[in-house]
Chain A
Amino acid sequence: DQQVKQNSPSLSVQEGRISILNCDYTNSMFDYFLWYKKYPAEGPTFLISISSIKDKNEDGRFTVFLNKSAKHLSLHIVPSQPGDSAVYFCAASAGGGATNKLIFGTGTLLAVQP
């Protein structure tokens, strides 16, 4: 039972254009959402997060949008750069609990073409 879903296994974008990565979730108890970026042979690194009380969070070229009614979030990267090529994981937590275990999606491989 996949509680966090990333339905696009891969995405190819031209350098300078916008990359949009999507994520859907099913558990209405999730109240904190994160995006991690992963290069081959490395662990995931935190990119950006959003609390369920917000609908947008921006950090430089990266913006995360949250649509709670649709249980959907997206990561926008603009402008995309070749160094952004990596696997992007969406994750969620029900932070009101005693632990902060993250539930991850299966990832989207982003390829930014020069």
Chain B
Amino acid sequence: GAGVSQSPSNKVTEKGKDVELRCDPISGHTALYWYRQRLGQGLEFLIYFQGNSAPDKSGLPSDRFSAERTGESVSTLTIQRTQQEDSAVYLCASSFRAGPTDTQYFGPGTRLTVL
């Protein structure tokens, strides 16, 4: 399995709890992206990592959201004090480089439901 993997596939949590979502990119891909898709909406950019550069956090909706990436491997997206509006499918993608023609390969997503 050489694709992007994400875990868990589904997460149900109570309002106010913290959640951590994991992404394993394709080996050798230097760029990693997080997006989310709320019901009836398109994919919404959250954050981007490229090598050792400072991440582009311009899409994070609030300071309750944070993400880390270890080198060029695993990334975790953390949502603190979850709210019902955080319910969405969270998608991770990776690409070989970060150029405009570098195809982004998506994982299957984590469906987060906040009760």
Residues of A within 8 A of B (CB): 2, 4, 6, 31-32, 36, 41-46, 49, 51, 89, 91, 93, 95-96, 98-107
Q: Which residues of B contact A46 (CB under 8 A)?
A: 103-105
Report the nearest B residue to A6, measured CB to CB: B42
Q: Which residues of B contact A100 (CB under 8 A)?
A: 31, 48, 95, 98-100, 102, 104
Q: Are B59 and A101 in contact, CB atoms less than 8 angstroms apart?
A: yes
Which range holds the interface residue count of chain B? 20 to 34
For the complex, would chain B's binding face be called helix, strand, loop or mixed by DSSP majority? Answer: loop
Report the nearest A residue to B58, measured CB to CB: A101
Which one of B44, B48, B102, B108 contacts A104 once the chains associate, using CB atoms below 8 Å?
Answer: B44
User: Given the complex of chains A and B, what is the CA–CA distance between A56 and B5 in angstroms?
Assistant: 33
B86 to chain A, nearest CB (A): 19
Q: Given contacts A95-B99, A99-B98, are A4 and B108 in contact (CB under 8 A)?
A: no
B96 to chain A, nearest CB (A): 11
Q: Are B43 and A102 in contact, CB atoms less than 8 angstroms apart?
A: yes
Which one of A6, A44, A101, A106 contacts B45 once the chains associate, using CB atoms below 8 Å?
Answer: A101
Report the nearest A residue to B43, measured CB to CB: A104
User: Given the complex of chains A and B, what is the CA–CA distance between A106 and B40 in angstroms?
Assistant: 7
Report the nearest A residue to B99, measured CB to CB: A100
> Would you call B65 an interface residue if the criterion is a C-beta within 8 Å of the partner chain's C-beta atoms?
no
Report the nearest B residue to A101, measured CB to CB: B45
Q: Which residues of B contact A6 (CB under 8 A)?
A: 42
B98 to chain A, nearest CB (A): 5
